Structure 1
Amino acid sequence: MNSTLIKIQQFADRAHGEQMRKYSYERYIVHPIRVMETCMNYTSKTTLLAAALLHDVLEDTAVTETELLHYLETLMDTEAAHETLNLVVELTDVYTKETYAHLNRKQRKERETERIEETSADAQTIKYADILDNCKEITAADPNFAPRFLKECMTILKAAPKGNSELYSLVYNSVQAEIQGLKRRSQ
């Protein structure tokens, strides 16, 4: 990992602060690191890898788009900083429970899937890695919620096929395998 990505990882870790992963109780940063490492198997593009590390910062922390852009501009040229920020914005959930309290989860997820469908190939590649990491953890830790979550992931994958095709296939097959595994265990 190059020095820019190390600094971005440290920034993301500070931004997430004391947040912990819901099921593993690890520091939150382990998730963005795994997402970035998965992406790293398919690309060396710094803006994509940086956005993978930052993909939950705007959604889950107090960091604003302006603050993030200013920070990124201290590490990379203006074009790369804007590209990274744009990817993070594309990956930030718009249809949250807080913002759209009048919608139920199914309605919010449907709208979010429609939004993700319009995102760039790079954003979709990061989304695949995010799905892969979350699916493994949620399936193992929460078998009651996992069927619903895996169905939502499959819906997103079917709507967003523009990202890296190798990673897409891996994630699609992994989600299918998790669904089949849950079905076998419930019989």
Structure 2
Amino acid sequence: MNNILQHITEFADRAHGEQLRKYAPDRYIVHPIRVMETLKIYTSDISVLAAALLHDVLEDTPVTAGEMRKFLNIYLNEDETERTVDLVIELTDVYIKKNYPLLNRRTRKEKELQRLIRISPDAQTIKYADIMDNAQEISAGDGDFARVYLREVRQILLKLNRGNSELREKALMVVDAALVALKSK
């Protein structure tokens, strides 16, 4: 399984190309790897772990779902491939500024929250790990935006309650701790 995840990591890294993390001087791939490593504590499901590595590819790169599917078919069976791509699609933001330029951030985020409530338990679990990792990085990198972001993701965590409950609680603790730390600054 580790060999398969390494190939998927390399694919995701190539897809993200020269992208860097916004609040750290790291290649973008460090974030999906950290998300996947967090999830490994809770699951050994290859589709969940693969989707964690690929969760931002459709949203942030020119790679299509078809190209992702074609690549995954080399390493995963058909069911695992379809499930992985489905999870990535579920995790891909729909209500983005580019697609909804007339909606303000608050409206887009509310519509996105309503969409996320309906995603699968496995996708919600990946979202918890994603939020945990982003919350820690954004809090350290941009206090002003972090206040907005942390309130938004706290609402997401409160509403998304079908994934792994232990990881959800851990993510809530990380977000709450970051909010407290920001208030003391």
Tell me the equivalent position of 1:20: 20
Q: Where do 5+ consecutive residues of structure 2 fail to align?
A: none
Partner of residue 67, structure 2: 67
Runs of 4+ in structure 1 over 6 Å off: none
Residue 88 of structure 1 corresponds to: 88
Aligned residues: 185
- TM-score norm. by structure 2 comes to 0.98
TM normalised by structure 1 equals 0.97
Q: Aligned to 1:144, what secondary structure does the other structure show? A: helix
Distance in 2 separating the partners of 1:159 and 1:102: 26
Q: Report the CA distance between 1:173 and its aligned residue.
A: 1.1
Query: Displacement, 1:182?
Result: 1.2
1:60 partner letter: D
Shift of 1:88: 0.2
Partner-residue secondary structure (3-state), 2:15: helix
For the residue of structure 2 that corresponds to 1:145, the secondary structure is helix
Alignment correspondent of 1:2? 2
Cα offset, 1:2, TM superposition: 1.3
Matches within 5 A, 1:101-116: 101-116=101-116
CA offsets 1:17-47 (integer angstroms, 9 cap, x no match): 0000011021000000000000111111110
Counterpart Cα distance in 2 of 1:37 and 1:53: 9
Deviation at 1:178, TM superposition (A): 1.0
In the alignment, the residues of structure 2 paired with residue 26 and residue 183 of structure 1 have an alpha-carbon distance, to the nearest angstrom, of: 27
Deviation at 1:117, TM superposition (A): 0.4
Q: 1:68 Cα deviation (Å)?
A: 0.7
* Per-residue Cα deviation, 1:45-91 (whole angstroms, up to 9, x for no partner): 11000000000000000000111111111111111100000000000
CA offsets 1:103-124 (integer angstroms, 9 cap, x no match):
1111111011111100011101
State the identity as a percent. Answer: 54
1:181 has 2:175 as partner: no
Structure 1 alignment gaps of length 5 or more: none
Q: How large is the RMSD of aligned CA atoms in angstroms?
A: 0.8
Q: Distance in 1 between matches of 2:109 and 2:93?
A: 10
Query: For 1:174 and 1:98, how far apart are their aligned partners in 2?
Result: 30
How big is the shift at 1:184? 1.9
Q: 1:98 Cα deviation (Å)?
A: 0.5
- Partners of 1:160 and 1:73 lie apart in 2 by 30
